[in-house]
Amino acid sequence: MSSHFSGSCGCGTINFEVKALRTNVVNCHCNSCRKMNGGSFSTYFVVSQKNFELTAGEDFLSCFSLTENARKHFCKICGTPVFNLNLKYPRLRMVHFGTLNLPAETTPDVNIFCQSKLPWVAFDCEMMNFKQEIEK
Ligand SMILES: [Zn+2]
Ligand SMILES: [Zn+2]
Confidence of residue 127 (pLDDT cuts 50, 70, 90): low
* Dist. CA 87 → ligand 2 center (Å): 13
Question: Taking 70 as the threshold, does the pLDDT of residue 39 lie above it?
Answer: yes
For residues 22-27, give the mean pLDDT. Answer: 84
Mean pLDDT, the chain, integer: 87
User: Which ligand is the nearest neighbour of the Cα of 11?
Assistant: 1
Structural domain for 101, as ranges = 4-129
User: Which ligand is the nearest neighbour of the Cα of 46?
Assistant: 2
Residue 65 CA: distances (Å) to CA of 7, 27, 34, 70, 109: 23, 21, 15, 6, 27
d(CA 136, CA 16): 22
CATH number of the CATH domain containing 56: 2.170.150.70
Stretch among 5-14, 67-76, 115-124 having the lowest mean pLDDT: 115-124
Confidence of residue 71 (pLDDT cuts 50, 70, 90): very high
Residue 81 in domain = yes
Q: For the chain, how many structural domains are there in total? A: 1
d(CA 14, CA 12): 6
* Dist. CA 73 → ligand 1 center (Å): 11
* Dist. CA 12 → ligand 1 center (Å): 5
Question: Taking 50 as the threshold, does the pLDDT of residue 93 lie above it?
Answer: yes
| Residue 44 CB-density burial (10 A; 0-12 exposed, 13-18 middle, 19+ buried) | buried
